[in-house]
């Protein structure tokens, strides 16, 4: 999907109102600006946070509140728009981008965050005129938000799966079935916890120092942790941030101490750090210089840099000097398994964007086959629950005679038994009905080179 040049959606200096916005409106202006950068310009939320001038100007609680409003609007976007539709006299997409942004920010306060009706309505209306196209939107925003303040029951009745666009609902239903899709949607509405990974022999100390809960096999989970860099042992490099499910692929290798493992498409490097912390010599391949730079910084912070050789190269064409016995391939994918952490992904991508990944994944699997010696082991994973990116890719490679599948029993790894699929792969679907059952959705396969 092509994107326009990066820019903040703040008015140009000549167009800005002469009077500054009221104090209570500044966080609403920033939140709406973040929504404009994501939903109108196709930026990721992290990019929007980095580019928004109005957000950068905030400090303290105002900054945190702006982020919370924008995050809530993105996480519940489909449900918010569904709830607003009967309150509108004309379709929402006929409003200006600024008016849409402020309306969604106001609705997120009312429906999700529990902000008082008076503050949500008055302060959001007061923000009108401080974003492009909102100078004449005061009456519109006031009328619709006042109606929204009486519509909580209607919002609550909207199913979780309606938070996603129709094409994505269909894609998940085709791959997972309706019930599992609904469960994933309910999980995606929850604010994710912070998962930490570290060397196996130090995980208990990390849990004790941070006050987190130790999850099997080697994860510490914290709720409401705040900035990671403020947590104990950050400067000492004894842990890194990594979702529980993202840690599973490395565990499928078993004991790798002293072995060489190639990590294809390695950056930003959580799995490279895991491999190195377990005693492997890692060759980390990635074509993105910026992402490798991030891996290098984390490797240096954690003291694992001497175990990781970083190579800037295209994994489809790069080859080692000799065939190896172990490869990890975390292939580029739709990332639809990380919507809990990146809810904007449901809205800044389209079906056509998703359709391109399976061919890329197949090419990378064939490249990995060329690097492996006969009997060598490949762990393939994607942070997507779609069959086209997971089980169907593996089935195709097995059908070509490149690999045989090595079935995995999740229970033997201390993982939920229902993560094992009928084909013997792993699918780490979150379960919002289980304690600590929230994690990203990964497809993971263990394969042997024929």
What string of DSSP letters covers 263-328? EET-TT-HHHHHHHHTT-EEEEEES-HHHHHHHHHHHHHTT-GGGEEEEES-TTT---SS-EEEEE
Q: Which residue ranges does the chain devote to CATH 3.40.50.150?
A: 194-449
**Do residues 251 and 332 lie in contact, with contact meaning Cβ atoms separated by under 8 Å?**
no
Q: Which residue has the tokens 């959001």?
A: 124
Which superfamily is assigned to 13-158 in CATH? NusB-like (1.10.940.10)
* Of the candidates 248, 270, 216, the residue with the CA atom closest to the CA atom of residue 420: 248
What is the model's pLDDT at position 19?
A: 73
Predicted confidence (pLDDT) per residue in 173-202, tens digit: 999 999 999 999 999 999 999 999 998 889
Q: Dihedral sign for Cα 408, 327, 202, 431, please.
A: negative
Closest CA to 394 of 407, 385, 383, 403: 403
User: What fold, for 194-449?
Assistant: Rossmann fold (3.40.50)
pLDDT digits (tens, 9 = 90+) for 338-396: 999 999 999 999 999 999 999 999 999 999 999 999 999 999 999 999 999 999 999 99
In Å, how far from its chain's centre is CA 278?
26
Nearest to 438 by CA among 188, 240, 229, 213: 188
Is the pLDDT at 5 greater than 70? The verdict is no
Q: How far is CA 309 from the centre of its chain?
A: 27
| Set 265, 333, 381, 383: catalytic member | 383
Q: For residue 179, what pLDDT is reported?
A: 97
Q: Is the pLDDT of residue 10 over 50?
A: no
CA torsion angle 272 276 282 286 (round to 10): 20
Rg (CA), the chain: 23
From-to residues of CATH 1.10.940.10 in the chain: 13-158
Specify whether the CB–CB gap between 183 and 434 falls below 8 A.
no
pLDDT at res. 291: 95
Distances (CA, A) of 73 to 67, 178, 373, 380, 399: 10, 24, 49, 34, 44
Q: Are 148 and 84 in contact (CB under 8 A)?
A: yes
Q: Is 383 a catalytic residue?
A: yes
Quote the CA–CA distance of 439 and 410 in Å, as a whole number.
15
pLDDT confidence tier of residue 231, bands split at 50, 70 and 90: very high
């Amino acid at each position: 999907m092509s994107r326009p040049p990066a820019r903040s959606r703040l008015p140009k200096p000549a167009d800005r109102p002469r009077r500054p916005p009221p104090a209570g409106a500044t966080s609403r202006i920033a939140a709406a600006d973040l929504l404009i950068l994501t939903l109108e310009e196709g930026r990721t939320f992290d990019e929007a946070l980095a580019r928004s001038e109005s957000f950068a100007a905030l400090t303290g609680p105002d900054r945190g509140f702006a982020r919370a409003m924008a995050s809530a609007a993105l996480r519940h976007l489909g449900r918010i728009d569904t709830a607003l539709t009967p309150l509108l006299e004309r379709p929402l997409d006929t409003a200006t981008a600024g008016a849409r942004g402020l309306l969604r920010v106001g609705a997120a306060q009312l429906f999700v965050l529990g902000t008082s009706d008076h503050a949500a309505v008055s302060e959001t209306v007061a923000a009108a005129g401080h974003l492009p196209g909102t100078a004449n939107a005061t009456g519109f925003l006031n009328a619709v938000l006042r109606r929204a303040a009486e519509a909580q029951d209607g919002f609550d009745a909207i199913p979780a799966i309606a938070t996603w666009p129709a094409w994505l609902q269909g894609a998940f239903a085709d791959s997972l079935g309706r019930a599992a899709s609904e469960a994933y949607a309910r999980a995606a509405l929850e604010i994710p916890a912070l998962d930490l990974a570290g060397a196996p022999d130090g995980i208990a100390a990390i849990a004790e120092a941070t006050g987190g809960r130790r999850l099997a096999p080697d994860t510490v989970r914290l709720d409401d942790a705040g900035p990671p860099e403020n947590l104990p042992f950050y400067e000492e490099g004894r842990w890194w941030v990594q979702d529980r499910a993202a840690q599973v692929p490395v565990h499928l290798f078993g004991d790798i101490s002293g072995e060489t493992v190639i990590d294809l498409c390695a950056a930003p490097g959580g799995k490279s750090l895991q491999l190195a912390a377990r005693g492997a010599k890692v060759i980390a391949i990635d074509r993105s210089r910026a992402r490798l730079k991030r891996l290098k910084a984390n490797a240096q912070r954690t003291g694992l840099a001497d175990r990781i050789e970083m190579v800037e190269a295209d994994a489809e064409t790069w080859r080692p000097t000799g065939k190896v016995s172990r490869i990890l391939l975390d292939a580029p994918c739709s990332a639809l398994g990380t919507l809990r952490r990146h809810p904007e992904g449901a809205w800044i991508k389209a079906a056509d964007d998703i359709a391109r990944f399976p061919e890329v994944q197949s090419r990378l699997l064939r490249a990995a086959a060329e690097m492996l010696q006969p009997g060598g082991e490949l762990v393939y994973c994607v942070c997507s629950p779609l069959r086209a990116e997971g089980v169907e890719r593996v089935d195709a490679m097995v059908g070509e005679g490149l690999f045989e599948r090595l079935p995995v029993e999740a229970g033997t790894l201390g993982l939920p038994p229902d993560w094992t699929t009928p084909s013997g792969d792993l699918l780490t679907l979150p379960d919002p009905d289980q304690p600590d059952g929230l994690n990203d959705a990964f497809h993971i396969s263990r394969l042997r080179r024929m």
